[in-house]
């Protein structure tokens, strides 16, 4: 089965504390391999939901 993945972080905390884009990508790749799926592409959403504060 051909599949695509989607990864994102919505807060800076998620990005820094274990749910980074790299972590999510690795988990998707492992899951697909374990299930015999053909991972065609991973879409990445790097935008944070809350824009950084201005000084």
Instruction: Tell me whether residue 10 is one of the annotated catalytic residues.
Output: yes
Among 6, 10, 16, 40, the one annotated catalytic: 10
Q: For the range 48-52, what are the long-range contacts, defined as Cβ-Cβ under 8 Å and sequence gap of 24 or more?
A: 48/9, 48/10, 48/11, 48/12, 48/15, 49/10, 49/11, 50/11
Q: Which residues are catalytic, by number?
A: 10
């Amino acid at each position: 089965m051909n599949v695509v993945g989607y990864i994102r972080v919505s807060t800076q905390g998620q990005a820094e504390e274990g749910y980074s884009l790299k972590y999510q990508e690795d988990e998707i790749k492992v899951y697909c391999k374990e299930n015999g799926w053909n991972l065609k592409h991973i879409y990445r959403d790097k935008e944070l939901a809350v824009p950084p504060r201005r000084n």
